[in-house]
DNA sequence: CTGATCTACAACCATTTGGTTGTAGGATAT
DNA sequence: ATATCCTACAACCAAATGGTTGTAGATCAG
């Protein structure tokens, strides 16, 4: 059963967000601890604005949320987003296994 | 334990490949049955060349293989590629649960 | 042999992407 | 009050993306 239906555009954004090394690294970081945008920016050899854009991409993909705290913006991982991506790949995996099962049946018939 | 190490570039290609509705649809199709490139092309409202490019993207991402049969090129899903993507998301999931565990520990201490 | 089919690939185009610098505004510390 | 820090956002640029059309090489059917 499909629990929640994601639109094509949402899935596009989700996987697009994962398709960049810096963004995957940010995901790993914010899964473990709390980071401000500038805190994240200090970790990479690129401008603050570039990191800011990466965070924005993750945010639009619902993989991350931002919360203002004083003058900082705290970035937090959003578990739901990650689960949605995982669920889709699980679906594909299931389709695959289903076929593998059918092939086994066909071989058994012969 | 990490079974096989994927380079950043490989992961970029993997997720990039999933970040398109047409390509995800192709993946679903070839997971179930056999399709030639032109067979796939007939399914979508775009040129043959466009579909050919999509298949090429999937191929470079190791999500699909092509095999020449007569004048046709048969496209087949590659289970390994799919598993690699899934495995990465599982890793993230694990990192997440680990943190959830730590938080539970911290709460238990208080 | 001829014609139709399937594929590959180049050239082109508009849009998006990933990066930059620069400007401006709100929050903090001294 | 002033200087500093963090953020937002615009403008710009080069490269990649997703699409097109056109050309040409194999393979198959009649």
- Residue ranges of the domains in chain B? 8-109
Closest to A11 measured CA to CA, from B35, B74, B24: B24
User: Distance (Å) from CA A26 to C1' C19?
Assistant: 17
CA angle centred on A90, ends B45 and A14, rounded to 5°? 60
Q: Which of A18, A83, A92 is facing B28, going by the closest CB pair?
A: A92
CA distance A45 to A24: 15
Between 1.10.10.10, 3.40.50.720, 1.10.275.10, 1.10.3720.10, what CATH number should domain B8-109 receive? Answer: 1.10.10.10
pLDDT value of position B107: 65
Encode pLDDT of A1-26 as tens digits.
655 678 899 999 999 999 999 999 99
Q: 3-class DSSP state for residue B74?
A: strand
Model confidence at B110: pLDDT above 70: no
B70: left (phi > 0), else alpha (psi -120 to 50), else beta? left
Encode pLDDT of B27-51 as tens digits.
999 998 999 999 999 999 999 999 9
pLDDT value of position A102: 72
Please, is A99 exposed, middle or buried when counting C-beta atoms within 10 Å of its C-beta (0-12, 13-18, 19+)? middle
pLDDT value of position A6: 80
pLDDT-derived band at B10 (thresholds 50, 70, 90) equals: very high
Nucleotides of D under 7 A from a protein CB: 5-11, 17-22, 25-28
- Establish if B87 touches chain A: CB-CB under 8 angstroms: no
- Other Cβ atoms less than 10 A from the Cβ of A7: the count is 9
């Amino acid at each position: 059963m499909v629990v929640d239906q994601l639109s094509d555009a949402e899935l596009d954004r989700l996987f697009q967000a994962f398709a960049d090394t810096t963004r995957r690294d940010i995901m790993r970081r914010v899964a473990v601890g709390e980071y401000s945008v500038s805190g994240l920016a200090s970790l990479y050899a690129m401008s603050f604005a570039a990191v800011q854009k990466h965070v924005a991409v993750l945010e639009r993909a619902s993989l991350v949320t931002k919360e203002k705290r004083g003058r900082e913006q705290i970035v937090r991982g959003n578990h739901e987003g990650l689960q949605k991506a995982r669920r889709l790949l699980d679906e594909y995996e299931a389709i695959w296994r289903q076929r593998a099962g059918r092939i086994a049946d066909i071989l058994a018939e012969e």
